[in-house]
Structure 1
Amino acid sequence: MMLVAAARIKRAQEAVINGRPFTEGLVEFLYTINDSLQCEDVDCPLTVIRHVKKVALVVITGDRGVCGSFNNAVIKKAESRVSELKGIGLDYTVISVGKKGNSYFRRKDDVLVDRFVEGGGFPTAKEAQMIADDVFSLFISEGVDKVELVYTKFVSLVKSNPVIRTLLPLSVKGEVVDVNGNCVDGMEDELFMLTTKGGKLVVERDKVRVEGGRISPLMQFEQDPVQILDAMMPLYLNSQILRALQESLASELAARMNAMSNATDNAIELKKNLSIVYNRERQAKVTSEILEIVAGADALA
């Protein structure tokens, strides 16, 4: 199992690394356009910021076990976010992706699940599009007012972190609040980081995104920016969900490789210790038999 995971993780790691520049560039571009349209009267449903009453959590887990604490860490992160939402009086729904998460949430009668999605090996754009369509319909129909991704971010072969990422709405400054004006962004949201300012909690954008490039004022668009935003938002949803699926798979394979490597090392160590115990017991038995023979010979003499 360790060798199989090691063989598959190279492909998964390459998919993550190769896909990051496109998704990050697309997000920066869309945020820049959306930022420039804040002062204009635009009609782009996926960028509409409403008072949050209900949040959808897209929880991405693995399809198999024997990968250490990988699945438990994601589920624990999702449960922590659910408790946080309940604490501020917000409704929620879960879109579970992955067999392990599905089996867990099916046993939880107190968790509201909108849909179960089974994984299918390496993530594809078709699989991401199916999840994106469900997210799109929920948000457009105002079934939910905010969508968050809960998945495991691939850092390296020995490290991965469960994270929360705001997917919708496409908010520039993190001004997603509930009916009482309280910010509902997660404390560890990848896009928005809570901090203090003037003794109050505020949300600031990540420094990397603040220092990102801006669209040149000399650049001209053949189409209206609103049309560009409408046309690219479905691509944004698909790319972000596909990236989360790819990062989750790479993290799962890395966790399985490390877990099986540790299991192999433990088995070798156990075999070594048992061999030592066995040899000691055998030597003690041989010594005991020799002593009995010597004692019997002395008695005959």
Structure 2
Amino acid sequence: MSAIASVTAPLLTASRSSSLRGASVKHGSNAPARVAAPRGALVIRNASPKEMRDRIASVGNTKKITDAMKLVAAAKVRKAQDAVIGARPFSESLVKVLFAINQRLSGEDVDVPLTKQRPVKKVLIVSCTGDRGLCGGFNNFIIRKTEQRVAELKAQGVECKLITVGKKGGVYFNRRKDRYDLVKRFNMGQSPSTQDAQTIADDIFAEFTSEEVDKVEMIYSRFVSLIAAEPTVQTLLPLSKEGEVCSVDGVCVDAANDEIFKLTSEDGEFAVKRVKADTEVSEFEGVMQFEQDPNQILEALMPLYMNSQILRALQESLASELAARMNAMSTASDNAKELKKNLSLVYNRARQAKITSEIIELVAGAAAA
């Protein structure tokens, strides 16, 4: 990846509006000292024809790499979409059971630790970044959002702990341990699974149930479209008694009526559509008997429900990262295409000027004879 980064970095950062002042090409004493170059090309001083051809070939090879990375990222976005959709049946069934039990126990005094509200003195923040770079500003957006949230909480006199998911965020905050209380680091991986989500959930539950922290928030990138992602701060714990997951502004997301994204192709272009995934809650019989204590059932269901919420956040974050990488590689490919075109134009103009100069010399010599 480092080799690819060294090749694509100039294309990712190049500005199309930059102008070329000129280029000098060695063609002997009769070659023009300066050849006008089009806007958008790079200044190449004292370049021989062979060096120019090598540069054009190098840019062409780089474009092939970025095109391939774009297609790979697009295929992985599709896979991430399928993972979200594939997890829906389990989530829907779990929500039905959870809502029905809560409806049945709505009039009873049920004490579930994961729904227990207590004064917030310390918050655990779970920050989700990517494992790799070459994805534009995706990782920086999440890191900056995390820093901003920590600053907001500290300004309110609230202490913060930090768990990172993804190598980029882990490395960044690990280097700043003097400023951030980094508890643990996890890798995002290329295909988040329920086991990955459960590993993260176990640490979260341990911190919350032991009252080491009073609140748990998760910062991840919500996949809006292939060209847009929304950094989201979501409250994981405590849960509402309805099993809803709420954002930090108090807006709760009903998992029975949330959205899923679908990758489509229209007019040969990739696009993303978000559709409502309505879940009809089945009616349970009026008389409900539990083989176990209802509190034990809720204590078993809510961690399971939280696992599905963490997994969904990981999948959306991964999809956002892949979409950002696809866009970055698309931009790099476009820049490479334009750069190759402009370099070819500079090369052809210099070659034409040399040929013209040689013809003039031949004509002048013939006339003198």
Bin the TM-score by the shorter chain. Answer: 0.7 to 0.9
Classify 1:207/1:102 alpha carbon distance in 2 versus 1 (closer, same or farther; 3 Å).
closer
Q: What is residue 229 of structure 1 aligned with on the other side?
A: 298
Classify 1:119/1:212 alpha carbon distance in 2 versus 1 (closer, same or farther; 3 Å).
closer
Is 1:60 the counterpart of 2:128 in the alignment?
Answer: yes
Deviation at 1:21, TM superposition (A): 6.2
Q: SS of 1:46's equivalent?
A: helix
Classify 1:239/1:206 alpha carbon distance in 2 versus 1 (closer, same or farther; 3 Å).
closer
For residues 30-89 of structure 1, give each alpha carbon's deviation from its aligned partner in whole angstroms, at most 9, with x where no partner exists.
467558757643231111100000111111111111111111111121111111111211
Letter in 2 for 1:245: L
CA distance in 2, matches of 1:37, 1:53: 30
Larger Rg: 2
Letter in 1 for 2:83: A
For residues 173-196 of structure 1, give each alpha carbon's deviation from its aligned partner in whole angstroms, at most 9, with x where no partner exists.
9xxxxxxxxxxxxxxxx72474xx
Q: What is residue 278 of structure 1 aligned with on the other side?
A: 347
CA contact (8 A) 1:96 1:116 kept: yes
Q: SS of 1:96's equivalent?
A: strand
CA distance in 2, matches of 1:217, 1:4: 46
Deviation at 1:245, TM superposition (A): 1.3
Q: SS of 1:191's equivalent?
A: strand
CA distance in 2, matches of 1:40, 1:32: 14
What 5-or-longer segments of structure 1 have no aligned partner? 174-189, 195-202
Classify 1:71/1:283 alpha carbon distance in 2 versus 1 (closer, same or farther; 3 Å).
same
CA contact (8 A) 2:122 2:215 kept: yes
Q: What is residue 188 of structure 2 aligned with on the other side?
A: 119
The number of equivalent residue pairs is 278
Q: What is residue 135 of structure 1 aligned with on the other side?
A: 204
The one of 179, 186, 202 equivalent to 1:110 is: 179
Identical counterparts, % of pairs: 56
The two structures have a TM-score, normalised by structure 2, of 0.67
Is 1:244 the counterpart of 2:322 in the alignment?
Answer: no
The two structures have a TM-score, normalised by structure 1, of 0.81
Deviates more, 1:108-117 or 1:212-221: 212-221
Letter in 1 for 2:116: V
CA contact (8 A) 1:6 1:253 kept: yes
Is 1:8 the counterpart of 2:76 in the alignment?
Answer: yes
CA distance in 1, matches of 2:79, 2:91: 18
Deviates more, 1:205-214 or 1:277-286: 205-214
Classify 1:17/1:217 alpha carbon distance in 2 versus 1 (closer, same or farther; 3 Å).
closer
Letter in 2 for 1:142: E
CA contact (8 A) 2:188 2:314 kept: no
CA distance in 2, matches of 1:231, 1:259: 43
For residues 259-281 of structure 1, give each alpha carbon's deviation from its aligned partner in whole angstroms, at most 9, with x where no partner exists.
11221121111101111111111
Classify 1:23/1:94 alpha carbon distance in 2 versus 1 (closer, same or farther; 3 Å).
farther
CA distance in 2, matches of 1:95, 1:131: 9
CA contact (8 A) 2:235 2:248 kept: no
CA distance in 1, matches of 2:279, 2:208: 28
Q: What is residue 119 of structure 2 aligned with on the other side?
A: 51
